[in-house]
Amino acid sequence: MKSILGWLGHQFLGLLQELGRIMVLFLQALSWLVRPPFRIRLYFKQMEFIGVNSLFVVALTSLFTGMVLALQTFYAFSMFGAESLVGATVALSMTRELGPVITGLMVTGRAGSAICAEIGTMRVTEQVDALTVMAINPVQYLVLPRIVAGVIMLPLLTIISNSMGILGGYLVGVQLLDIHGGMFMNKIQEHVTMADVYNGLIKASAFGGILTLVGCYKGFYTRGGAEGVGRSTTQAVVMSSVLILVSDYFLTALMF
């Protein structure tokens, strides 16, 4: 029993230490947000990497998610004669939950892992230390542009995700399952409000900050050479995915 309590205490202290490091890194990044030099080129470069380069995988995933959702809800609603609500269900599911979450998870797998691997490689090869020697703050140069790009680009990707999900639902519902197209769109207009869309975009912005901050943190504190980079990258993807799902619950409880 004593060894178990000691192990639990050790794990708890390690968790607190990690949370403290994340918050310190985040506050350091925020402190550089309004302080020169403003390297605008770095921001646009990261916006392209995180946002534009993730467009295809997000759009494709959301399209088939909307198609599957329409297929499943049609067969469920047909038992109650409510097939007309398939469009509204797909649209609400995408705008409120699936759009932001799918976008966050896809960008985590594609860009979050790359962010951690890049910064981690720079850390183990002492390139981060070289930036400090050249009087360049590594937090301002490496961390801040990625966090800002994630917060800005995730909502834009979520708009694409929502649109593709609704399109997938329309293709299956109207073209395959013979739901009337006018009724499909009318139910969407009737039940989906702009508040649903805005709340989903707020979630996406929070997810963008989470995945970039965790990726930068894990990369920034990487140790142990090539093996350490691989370990940090795996931990960054897992931690970001879990935090996105956990924060999604609390944000949903607050908003809806």
Band of the pLDDT at 46, cuts 50, 70, 90? very high
CA-to-CA separations, 58 to 83, 99, 104, 206, in angstroms, rounded: 28, 9, 9, 17
Torsions phi, psi of 192, nearest 5?
-95, 125
Q: Using the predicted structure, report yes or no on whether residue 12 has a pLDDT greater than 80.
A: no
State the pLDDT at residue 215: 94
Sole residue written with tokens 């198609």: 67
Residue 181 tokens, joined = 């197209």
- Selection from 164, 159, 167 nearest residue 205 by Cα: 159
Q: Taking the model in full, what pTM does it have?
A: 0.91
For 224-245, write each residue's pLDDT tens digit. Answer: 888 899 999 999 999 999 999 9
Sole residue written with tokens 């519902």: 173
> Using the 8-state DSSP alphabet, how is residue 64 labeled?
H
At 51, the amino acid letter reads: G
How many CB atoms are closer than 10 A to CB 250? 10
Contact yes or no for 184/87 (Cβ under 8 A): yes
Residue 161, C-beta contacts closer than 8 angstroms, at least 6 positions apart: 58, 59, 61, 62, 94, 98, 99, 100, 102, 103
